[in-house]
Homo-oligomer: A and B are copies of this chain.
């Protein structure tokens, strides 16, 4: 996971609607959510959402599969893992800013 891919991922999440969409997909779990359901939940036009989903997809943060007429999007946990790993290893002075929440979860 090179800096280029990291920058694409960061850029993909650095936008109100895309961050919200990704959070919804994470909540939705591996089942994912149809594009239409996402557009409804976010209250934005389908064509706008499609633009944003394309960026998340290009960054590798979401996967998509067609089920009948719907296209179902799902968060890619491995990609998110890669992003967090990069940030932790390269932007954190040897873990000195590893989130406490993660530490706690790891300990339990």
CA of A3 to CA of B90, assembled, Å: 23
A58 interface hit (Cβ, 8 Å): no
A80 interface hit (Cβ, 8 Å): yes
CA of A84 to CA of B7, assembled, Å: 16
CA of A27 to CA of B19, assembled, Å: 29
Shortest distance between the CB of A16 and any CB in chain B (Å): 6
A73 interface hit (Cβ, 8 Å): no
Q: Number of residues in A with C-beta < 8 Å to the partner?
A: 44
| Besides the known contacts A88-B101, A95-B105, 19 further A-B residue pairs in the complex with CB atoms under 8 A apart | A3-B20, A7-B14, A7-B15, A7-B16, A10-B11, A22-B91, A26-B92, A26-B93, A27-B93, A80-B87, A80-B91, A80-B97, A84-B102, A85-B99, A88-B102, A88-B105, A89-B101, A95-B106, A106-B106
